[in-house]
Chain A
Amino acid sequence: MLGLSKKDTTFLLIVIFLTLATPILLQPFPEGSALAQFNAGYPDLMQRFAIYGIFAIGFNILFGLTGYLSFGHAAFLGVGSYSVVWMYKLLSYNVLPGLILAVLMSALFALFIGFISLRRSGIYFSILTLAFAQMSFNLAYSVLTPLTNGETGLQVYTNDPQVLMSAGSPTSPHFFGIVMNESAKIDVGGWQFTFSNGYYFCAIIAIIVFYLSLRIFRSPFGIMLRAIKTNQTRMSYTGLNSRPYTLAAFVISGMYAGLAGGLLASMDPLAGAERMQWTASGEVVLMTILGGAGTLMGPVLGAGFIKYFENIFSKINDNILYAWFSALPEGLADALVFMLHPFIGKGWNLTLGLLFMLVVIFLPGGLMEGGSRIWGLITGKNRKSKKAGKDPEHHPKPSAHVN
């Protein structure tokens, strides 16, 4: 179906189901229960999952396939956001023109930055992209204020032209009348599910771009990109110039980032320069590596993981901890809270950092590798565990020749 193999079609259908059912799946605890704060099924967070998922999927096309580590992808995120807000200011609150402009502008930016940065590889490439992103950030922050409104951030004012606005048009971002921040709340038993327009808009776009990335992974172009990652010498002695391939991958991933940036501004009609800062570029690197670079689903998982930590762990405070430990003797509870204090609230970065270290050290393939190992243990298909069973002191066969 859709030009995919049977296995990939099943995979895509599962992804579609999970994405569409997210408002239900992320709401596992009934309202009012002690664990309800771990529910992630509210629109704002789910939209972030989808948007940063798109960002990471795009980043993975570059980093996961070609191995070129860009530290400047946040620049495209910012370009996308500014494009959308400008379209609000000039035309109307319909997000479509803005999103199209966001993708085109970020493609142009990526073509320019990629053309220069891809003259180098490895760490030099990373530094060049980082330099470009920081330049963009500084330009947006202080130099190009007429275009970006500097540190205040770009937003829509009442005296903006908005030439396509008529009397009845919605006054917040919408897609042909479907207003993004409207939602339907449904109560089932103790549970409350929120189905928001904004989330479903992002989710459908995310599914489309996920499908496109699946096609890219399975295409001759995808296999070329993986070949570039493995051996550029053989690549050139096979008659292939790797530059156009890497540039195309860079532009495609830049377009994904621009789309994600545009969607951020579609959910909340603001665009600030801080969206372009290097921390945002670093975040997508973390997402991709945490989830599993080069895998299809990994970056999305990584994005979800980091955004969950950012929004849920940061909300746990000492009072909540005391409530959990209320059954324990006071001294013990104090000690536990004291120990856990650095890891919660504002300390969520510390927890995430530790987790990231653990994943990188023990699961170099990211969460996806963890998942497949667990799956292997359950089904017994894991070759390593089988071999270990037969030959507990298994040693690798000595290789016949020295390489």
Chain B
Amino acid sequence: MGILEVSNVNKRFGGLQALGNVNLDIAAGTVHAIIGPNGAGKSTLLNVLVGKLIPDTGTVLFNGVSVLGRKPYEINQLGISRVFQTPEIFSDLTVFENMLIPCFAKRDGSFRLHALESIAAEKDLIEKAEHMLTEVNMADKRHMLASSLSRGDKRRLEMAMCLVQEPKLLLLDEPTAGMARADTNNTIDLLNQIHDSREITMVIIEHDMHVVFSLAKRITVLAQGSPLVEDTPDNIKGHPKVKEAYLGEAAA
């Protein structure tokens, strides 16, 4: 039994079958990549996993608990964090304040009115935030405004904000989209380092094959809304069906 089980998920947008009978079983502690050509339904699948879309049929179980119909913040509280294609950070806040928000969220869960407490008194949380910033090599940028960071640093910060909550499952939506090669490699190193040190299960949706083959332990190829093959990276590389899906019939 995996940490995340997707069974028989179907989703239609009008006449378009975005997801057809998707079955996925993601083992705990693995790095699972979902790849596929444009329009294969990767983003739709991800949106189903985080509760943004409700599928027409099927179930999505996280550790045996259904995530369907839950709000994004409830799903996060179950232990699922998401990294976006364009980094979603609090750009008007400083890097350090950005780190504090997930720390508070993790501690308090739902709403708690602490309107007259001082942030400086929260020594544990400050230490936790500092520690995480050091781990992603951003401690020297703590007083910078998040909006003034480079794309790579924004990604780093977003990742740190997810990790400080100690999620059980990290969903990454094209984590290196729009990055230069150097930044991409940095991100790959960071993700590998995170995975090695914490054994977090990761699901990566990615276009860039270089990224996929540097990270994934297991790969699912999605085409036209349905899983085509699921295998290890080595077996996927030469798989004829995959070539066909990406390059069309002629290449097969």
Interface residues of A (CB under 8 A from B): 3-5, 212, 215-216, 218-224, 226-227, 229-231, 233-241, 244-245, 248, 252, 399-403
Whether B235 sits at the interface, judged by CB under 8 Å, is no
Interface size on B, residues (CB 8 A): 44
User: Which of B15-23, B106-114, B221-229 is near enough to bind chain A?
Assistant: B106-114
**By DSSP majority rule, is chain A's interface helix, strand, loop, or mixed?**
helix
Whether B187 sits at the interface, judged by CB under 8 Å, is no
Whether A239 pairs with B115 at a CB distance below 8 angstroms is: no
14 residue pairs from A and B, CB less than 8 Å apart? A215-B118, A220-B104, A223-B101, A224-B104, A229-B92, A231-B91, A238-B105, A238-B161, A239-B77, A244-B110, A248-B111, A252-B115, A399-B150, A401-B150
Instruction: List chain A residues, Cβ under 8 A from B113.
Output: 221, 248
Whether A223 pairs with B102 at a CB distance below 8 angstroms is: no
Interface residues of B (CB under 8 A from A): 50, 71-73, 76-77, 81-82, 84, 86, 88-93, 97, 100-102, 104-106, 109-111, 113-120, 122, 150-151, 158, 161, 165, 178-180, 183
Whether A239 pairs with B73 at a CB distance below 8 angstroms is: yes
Whether B151 pairs with A400 at a CB distance below 8 angstroms is: yes
Number of A-B contacts (CB under 8 A): 119
Given A215-B115, A237-B82, A248-B115, does the pair A223, B150 have CB atoms closer than 8 Å? no
> Separation in Å of the B130 CB from the closest CB of chain A?
16
Whether B180 pairs with A220 at a CB distance below 8 angstroms is: no
Instruction: List chain A residues, Cβ under 8 A from B118.
Output: 3-4, 215, 218-219
Whether A244 pairs with B76 at a CB distance below 8 angstroms is: no
Instruction: List chain A residues, Cβ under 8 A from B104.
Output: 220, 223-224
Instruction: Find the A residue at minimum CB distance from B102.
Output: A238
Instruction: Find the B residue at minimum CB distance from A229.
Output: B92
Please tell me which one of the listed residues A224, A252, A400 contacts residue B101 in the complex, with CB atoms under 8 A apart. A224
Instruction: List chain A residues, Cβ under 8 A from B114.
Output: 219-221
When chains A and B are docked, how far (Å) is the Cα of A399 from the Cα of B161?
24
Instruction: List chain B residues, Cβ under 8 A from A3.
Output: 116, 118
Instruction: Find the A residue at minimum CB distance from B147.
Output: A230
Instruction: Find the B residue at minimum CB distance from A401.
Output: B151
Instruction: List chain B residues, Cβ under 8 A from A212.
Output: 116
When chains A and B are docked, how far (Å) is the Cα of A252 from the Cα of B158?
31
Whether A218 pairs with B101 at a CB distance below 8 angstroms is: no
Whether B90 pairs with A230 at a CB distance below 8 angstroms is: yes
Instruction: List chain A residues, Cβ under 8 A from B106.
Output: 239
Whether A226 pairs with B151 at a CB distance below 8 angstroms is: no
When chains A and B are docked, how far (Å) is the Cα of A220 from the Cα of B106?
13
Instruction: Find the B residue at minimum CB distance from A220.
Output: B114
When chains A and B are docked, how far (Å) is the Cα of A240 from the Cα of B73?
5
When chains A and B are docked, how far (Å) is the Cα of A400 from the Cα of B72?
32
Whether A223 pairs with B97 at a CB distance below 8 angstroms is: yes
> Separation in Å of the B178 CB from the closest CB of chain A?
6
When chains A and B are docked, how far (Å) is the Cα of A212 from the Cα of B120?
17
> Separation in Å of the B76 CB from the closest CB of chain A?
4
> Separation in Å of the B63 CB from the closest CB of chain A?
16
Whether A234 pairs with B90 at a CB distance below 8 angstroms is: yes
Whether B93 pairs with A239 at a CB distance below 8 angstroms is: no
Instruction: Find the B residue at minimum CB distance from A228.
Output: B90
Instruction: List chain B residues, Cβ under 8 A from A252.
Output: 115
